């Protein structure tokens, strides 16, 4: 009978009589003889006092060899145990972790000195300590340093070819710090160098973290390999030359699958009910208190209508009272009215925030007013607005909690010290997304569909009268796209999902100036060329992102170092090189990205430079639609990028002759609320320009909440007449810049958010069934796009294809049978 046996034996250490020395973490390595086959065996256990160690032994094992040359015989199972090797990884430091037998890194804690490690352009050394014992390993006995570094990419490396598998997600954990170089902190990056079968090279950033010279820090990340690489090396890089990289431990193992989150239960919720006590001040200022040494008083004269965004969510409500809180004697920006709302918030509900706010005289510049929440001491943005006049303004936003807090305070803050603040009608309430969806479906039906009359003509028309008709839409013309990268298209599974479910793409980095000319005169168009060729072969339309980027951190050092004259020349060369090279190949261009958040070129070359970029781009490629592109326009969370500010910027560019042809909303959003998004779209829609969501993503560790957030954004966009396209900023895990935003897990499993996206795509394809009437017609209402039709009668079966273009009047389509 093939049953397991248990072998029980005492464990001896070098100090047999010292019981305390048995405490700790141990790893046993063994050679096991099963019948005549020699098998490597390892086990981990903890020895405490004189307790025995228990090993599970299967029949057929004849010998187990361990370290201490002590020979034991277990007569009951006839097994001889000889200790020939043991390793104690006993550690008195907190947080000790075992290496794990699935670690693909060889010699991960340098117990075998520097075996399997090498320097990447520098020297590596082994240490037990440094600085007279001030620097000690966190794990094990040793650590290594990458020293004599002359380039930022110099570091310590290990080849993992053959041990790393493709299409599997791997977790990387490194224990690192820096030393020397007169810097107290610097970024350390874990990078994967991959050489493909055709000898092409690729660098994949796995993780980046700020390290210090004060202690060890943990660097964590994930990666996924595509194809069948010829060679794979993992290395650490990043700090400035002259600064050593110290590493104590490196683990690379197959990523553990996170347990699937539960779908949050949201039954019988009090949607639309304000959780603020005495919001209308019917009981004076009871329930409110001053945050800081300021004064609160009740006054009259505020608006009696709810703010527009709240009204859109709540519908018809009782009017406000016209009473407001006047805050005076404010000695700091954070002072204002506050209220405790502990115990009133529920997990995973999306809360909308809305209030009327106003400032008193005394300010000489625009003032920010912010509705903030302190949730167990952490600041949460409930919405903010910036203005510089004495009128009432709406402030709106949203938030959500994913763990139950103990203490929650809401407060209104922002204006400069000495500026009075007025607050009226503060509402915080959970939103009913399902009720909103019903409205959006009606709006979608109105703006995305058309009445259709299929007219069948044939010499045998009478024979098809009464025939059964089945209409299936096979393509919706509305653009749905995704971000892709050069490395992502090597993933065959990703490509299949992309081509099947999207019709537009945008490149993540490969068209940016920092990518195409990282050093002056050193051009790299290879990646963009290969991506364009991929798109052409798969019938994918392409947005060009981006020609310039105004935010300074995104601009390569050599450009930042140019004087005004040389920068002017470089800008002109960039325009000419890029737009001429790709003339007619990009349908859109984001000309100067994020002009509301940065002003690098404007500060150095003057206000007109941005309009010049648009004019020159249009001259070089008149076929491309030129976009502005920015973030947080649609969510009320950023005073630098309100819809009003965006409109002012666009109008100013147009006054300077810039041919702005489209409005890009990036759409990196959290806890979206439909009426807030719709309000921004309504305002921007007054310009008459097409609006695109250009980089849409939503993030939540709970995939069901992520799915709900994604549905909010997709439905709001698809139901708005000014929106003409939606591009997601990726969809596949580890190929996205934002954590917990993916629709498909790294190894190809479609999660709840992905299933929701596919369900909406299916919902937005029309289907119709029925019979041809006596006039030889069949009528239905359908989305714009391409259709297949099948006509069945007792004597014939016919298939045809037809196209429904955008239009408001009924469309008659003649089908010749």
Q: Which residues are catalytic?
A: 594, 695
The four Cα atoms 256, 259, 260, 264 give a dihedral, to 10 degrees, of -140
Q: Is the peptide bond before 739 cis (omega within 30 degrees of 0)?
A: no
SS3 state of residue 460: coil
Asked if 1 and 11 touch (Cβ cutoff 8 Å), the reply is no
- Sequence-separated (6 or more) residues with CB below 8 Å from residue 729: 482, 483, 508, 666, 667, 668, 695, 696, 697, 736, 737, 738, 741
Q: Is the sign of the CA dihedral 623, 625, 626, 630 positive or negative?
A: negative
Strands 691-698 and 668-669: parallel
- Calpha distance 217→238 (Å, rounded): 15
Asked if 703 and 258 touch (Cβ cutoff 8 Å), the reply is no
- Calpha distance 223→734 (Å, rounded): 6
- Calpha distance 496→489 (Å, rounded): 10
Half-sphere exposure of 738 (CA within 13 A, CB side): 21
Residue whose C-alpha is closest to residue 8's, from 54, 63, 61 = 54
Asked if 629 and 545 touch (Cβ cutoff 8 Å), the reply is yes
Residue whose C-alpha is closest to residue 694's, from 590, 800, 585, 547 = 590
- Calpha distance 549→537 (Å, rounded): 29
SS3 state of residue 487: coil
- Calpha distance 378→50 (Å, rounded): 48
Report phi then psi at 382, rounded to 5: -95, 5
Chain-centroid distance, C-alpha 674: 20
Degrees (nearest 5) of the Cα angle 243, 247, 252?
Answer: 130
* DSSP string for residues in 534-589: HHHHTT-EEEEEEEEE-SGGGS-HHHHT--HHHHHHHHHHHHHHHHHHTTTT-SEE
Chain-centroid distance, C-alpha 805: 35
- Calpha distance 741→699 (Å, rounded): 4
SS3 state of residue 532: helix
* DSSP string for residues in 425-454: EEEEEE--HHHHHHHHHHHHHHHHEEEEEE
Asked if 238 and 146 touch (Cβ cutoff 8 Å), the reply is no
Q: Per residue in 475-508, is it b (16+ CB within 10 Å) or e — as a string?
A: ebebbbbbbbbbbbbbbeebbebbeebbbbbbbb
Report phi then psi at 528, rounded to 5: -65, -40
- Calpha distance 535→544 (Å, rounded): 13
Residue whose C-alpha is closest to residue 653's, from 564, 717, 719, 592 = 592
Degrees (nearest 5) of the Cα angle 119, 121, 123?
Answer: 45
Give the single-character DSSP code of 774.
T
Tell me the CA distances in angstroms from 266 to 271, 430, 440, one per residue in order. 10, 11, 21
On the 0-12 / 13-18 / 19+ scale of CB atoms within 10 A, 465 is middle
């Amino acid at each position: 009978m093939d049953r397991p046996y248990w072998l029980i034996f005492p464990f001896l250490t070098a100090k047999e009589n010292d019981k305390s020395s048995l405490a700790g973490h141990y790893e046993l390595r063994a050679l096991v003889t099963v019948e005549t086959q020699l098998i490597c065996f390892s086990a981990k256990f903890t020895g405490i006092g004189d307790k025995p160690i228990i090993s599970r032994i299967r029949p057929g094992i004849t010998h187990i060899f361990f370290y201490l040359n002590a020979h034991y015989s277990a007569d009951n199972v006839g097994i001889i145990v000889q200790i020939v090797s043991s390793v104690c990884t006993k550690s008195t430091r907190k947080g000790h972790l075992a290496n794990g037998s699935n670690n693909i890194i060889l010699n991960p804690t340098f117990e075998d000195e520097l075996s399997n490690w090498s320097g990447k352009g520098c020297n590596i050394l082994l240490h037990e300590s440094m600085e007279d014992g001030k620097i000690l390993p966190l794990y094990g006995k040793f650590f290594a340093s990458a020293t004599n570094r002359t380039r930022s990419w110099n570091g310590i490396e290990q080849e993992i070819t053959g041990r790393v598998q493709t299409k599997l997600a791997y977790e990387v954990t490194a224990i690192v710090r820096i030393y020397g170089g007169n810097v107290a902190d610097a970024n350390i990056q874990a990078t994967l160098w991959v050489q493909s079968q055709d000898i092409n090279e690729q660098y994949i950033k796995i993780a980046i973290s700020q390290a210090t010279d004060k202690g060890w820090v943990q660097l964590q990340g994930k990666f996924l390999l595509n194809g069948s690489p010829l060679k794979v090396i993992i290395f650490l890089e990043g700090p400035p030359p002259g600064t050593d990289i110290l590493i104590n431990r490196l683990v690379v193992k197959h990523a553990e699958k996170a347990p699937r989150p539960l779908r949050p239960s949201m039954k019988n919720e009090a949607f639309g009910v304000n959780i603020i006590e005495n919001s209308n001040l019917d009981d004076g200022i009871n329930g409110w208190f001053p945050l800081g040494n300021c004064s609160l008083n009740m006054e009259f004269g505020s608006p009696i209508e709810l703010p527009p965004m709240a009204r859109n969510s709540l519908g018809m409500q009782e009017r406000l009272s016209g009473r407001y809180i006047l805050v005076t004697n404010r000695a700091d920006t954070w002072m204002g009215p506050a209220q405790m709302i502990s115990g009133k918030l529920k997990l995973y509900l999306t809360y909308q925030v809305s209030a009327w706010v106003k400032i008193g005289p005394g300010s000489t510049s625009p003032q920010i007013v912010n509705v903030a929440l302190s949730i167990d001491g952490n600041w949460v943005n409930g919405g903010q607005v910036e203005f510089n006049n004495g009128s009432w303004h709406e402030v709106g936003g949203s938030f959500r909690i994913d763990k139950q807090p103990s203490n929650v305070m809401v407060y209104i803050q922002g204006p400069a010290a000495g500026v009075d603040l007025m607050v009226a009608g503060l509402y915080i309430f959970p939103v009913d997304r399902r009720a909103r969806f019903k409205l959006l479906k009606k709006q979608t039906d109105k703006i995305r569909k058309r009445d259709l009359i299929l007219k069948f003509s044939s010499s045998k028309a009478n024979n098809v009268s009464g025939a059964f008709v089945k209409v299936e839409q096979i393509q919706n013309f509305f653009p749905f796209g995704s971000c892709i990268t050069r490395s992502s298209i090597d993933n065959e599974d990703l490509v299949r999902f992309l081509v099947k479910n999207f019709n537009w793409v945008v490149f993540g980095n490969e068209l940016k100036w920092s990518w195409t000319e990282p050093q002056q005169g050193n051009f790299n168009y290879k990646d963009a060329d290969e991506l364009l060729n991929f798109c052409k072969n798969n019938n994918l339309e392409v947005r060009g992102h981006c020609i310039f980027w105004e935010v300074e951190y995104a601009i390569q050092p050599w450009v930042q170092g140019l004087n005004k004259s040389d920068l002017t020349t470089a800008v002109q060369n960039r325009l000419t090189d890029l737009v001429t090279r790709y003339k007619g190949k990009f349908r859109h261009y984001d000309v100067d990205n994020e002009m509301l958040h940065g002003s690098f070129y404007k500060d150095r070359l003057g206000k007109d430079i941005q309009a010049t970029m648009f004019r020159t781009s249009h001259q070089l490629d008149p076929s491309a639609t030129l976009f502005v592109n920015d973030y947080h326009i649609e969510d009320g969370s950023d005073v630098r990028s309100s819809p009003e500010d965006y409109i002012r910027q666009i109008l100013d560019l147009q006054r300077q002759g810039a041919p702005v042809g489209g409005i890009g909303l990036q759409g990196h959003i959290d806890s979206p609320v439909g009426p807030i998004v719709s309000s921004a779209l309504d305002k921007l829609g007054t310009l008459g320009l097409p609006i695109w969501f250009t980089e849409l993503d939503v993030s939540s560790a709970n995939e069901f909440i992520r799915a709900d957030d994604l549905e909010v954004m997709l439905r709001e966009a698809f139901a708005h007449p000014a929106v003409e396209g939606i591009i997601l900023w990726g969809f596949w895990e580890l190929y996205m810049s934002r954590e917990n935003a993916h629709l498909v897990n790294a190894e190809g499993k479609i999660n709840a958010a992905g299933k929701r996206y596919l369900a909406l795509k299916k919902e937005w394809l029309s289907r119709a069934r029925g019979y041809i009437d006596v006039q030889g017609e069949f009528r239905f209402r359908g989305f714009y796009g391409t259709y297949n039709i099948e006509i069945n009668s007792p004597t014939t079966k016919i298939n045809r294809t037809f196209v429904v273009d955008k239009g408001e009047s009924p469309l008659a389509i003649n089908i010749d049978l």
